Structure 1
Amino acid sequence: MVSGHSFLPCDRSFATLEKMRKVTTLYTPSDVVDMTLGARQQQPFNVLEMKCQDFRQLPDTTLRRPPGFLITSMMWMKLQIRGVSIPKGAEGWKTWLVTKPRKNGPPPVPSFATSYGLAYEDPLSIKKEKHRDLMTMLMYMPAEAQAFYEALECEE
């Protein structure tokens, strides 16, 4: 897509969130979740909060780009997943569910997620300088936000 010339459904969703963000004061990640959930009355956004156990350490070979690959000049890209067959004659640009959906439950965990180790055991700590700056701003925040920032771990 050429920047500024796409009118996809995600663009409308992004605009809705941007409008809401301009009239909402956000202090913590939970404030962002609340804003996102309240942004649309009909068809509310689905929010999935990520935890440490959701992030996996992928091998370096997974993250390497093919030689000559330039995302800025890419117009079409075909991705193949081993063991997953897309129906013959299907449009390649459509999203295909590769795991079985669960009724009234959390989305299924991708099959690769359990085969790689955790990227983080605990939440990451912030730099000492950032922690010091945040502590100087606590007096301007509501009590719930203060508790969130006071609980952050700081590097030694």
Structure 2
Amino acid sequence: MLWTFNFGLHDAKTEDGIMHLWSEAEAGRGSSKVCSCLRETLLKRHETHRADHLILFSDDCAGQNKNKAMRNFLFELAKDGVYKSIQHIFLFRGHTFLPNDRDFSHIEKRKKVEKVRRPTDWKDIVKDSRLSQPFEFIFLDHKNFFDYKALADANLKTTFKCSDGESLMFKEVMWFSYGESQEMSELMDAEVWKPHSEEVWCRYTHNRMEPWKKLNPIKRIKKNQCAPKLAKKYAKPIGIKAAKKNDLLSLATKNLVDEETKAFYELLPVRQDRQTTKSDEDEDDYLN
């Protein structure tokens, strides 16, 4: 089986579902791919909505959402003024249900009555799975992905110290805030907006009364050192293992796929090196 990855976003303002699809032959998974998908959609939607404030709700999966690549991406997005305020809130595992889950369930139901042999077959399944307000789908290839993890490695500090000297328990954070945030006044009688473009503010709970933990995450640039820049993740498709390609082609010899699908399988690139794509998987981002 040839995998097709799907990163889904749900716009709570418009109730749009946006699906980002790509083949495992083009790219792997992990934090850089999630940030690249967010970049693809957020920049386009910002042009349409012209919103100043962005609130993101997600689970706290370390490989996809709760990692340094995501922190660096959102920090730079706010610092560049794309949004004045970005709030990234993590929901309690096992106690919450996101609209994305409902979106994916529509796709799974449609898949039961459709056959998928090539990644492009998913287009019709995604398009037809919600008739009242069809999902938007964006089909990506290796050229769409940027190396946000490498940029974060170059940009962010490796230890997390708050401004009061306390060490940040990153895994326990439930709320990251970038750009501007509301903070309780000294009299604790009202919330006031405060800019903090050079800092990331954090909370361990969803309680708005909890004081923010504040930290400057960016490394100091040494003298005569150039600021790191965002680069493409891949120069070409990563390909699949030779054994998997042989398995796919065997389906053709058994007349289990049509000629068009057989031709597609024959053109699939094969991974040349003997290394695994561990750097493309979500496990490499844990505890970062």
- TM-score, normalised to structure 1's length? 0.66
| Counterpart in the other structure of 2:170 | 69
1:3–1:20: structure 2 CA closer, same or farther, 3 Å change rule? farther
1:59–1:12: structure 2 CA closer, same or farther, 3 Å change rule? closer
| Counterpart in the other structure of 2:102 | 12
1:23–1:4: structure 2 CA closer, same or farther, 3 Å change rule? farther
Alignment of 1:121 with 2:121, yes or no, is no
Distance 1:4 1:22 in 2: 26
Distance 1:118 1:6 in 2: 35
Q: Whose strand proportion is higher, 1 or 2? A: 2
Distance 2:231 2:151 in 1: 15
Distance 1:78 1:36 in 2: 32
| Counterpart in the other structure of 2:136 | 46
Picking from 125, 132, 140, the partner of 1:35 is 125
1:141–1:86: structure 2 CA closer, same or farther, 3 Å change rule? farther
Distance 1:46 1:142 in 2: 28
Instruction: Give percent identity, aligned residues only.
Output: 27
Picking from 133, 136, 145, the partner of 2:250 is 136
Q: CA RMSD in A?
A: 2.8
5 Å-filtered alignment, 1:53-132, equals 53-58=143-148, 60=150, 62=152, 68-70=169-171, 73-74=172-173, 76-80=174-178, 85=180, 88=193, 115-132=229-246
Question: Any gaps of 5 or more consecutive residues in structure 1?
Answer: 94-114
Question: Any gaps of 5 or more consecutive residues in structure 2?
Answer: 1-90, 161-168, 183-192, 195-205, 207-228, 273-288
Q: CA deviation at 1:59?
A: 5.2
Distance 2:175 2:131 in 1: 36
Q: Tell whether the 8 Å contact from 2:107 to 2:129 is kept in structure 1 after alignment.
A: yes
Number of matched pairs: 126
- TM-score, normalised to structure 2's length? 0.38
Q: CA deviation at 1:78?
A: 0.9
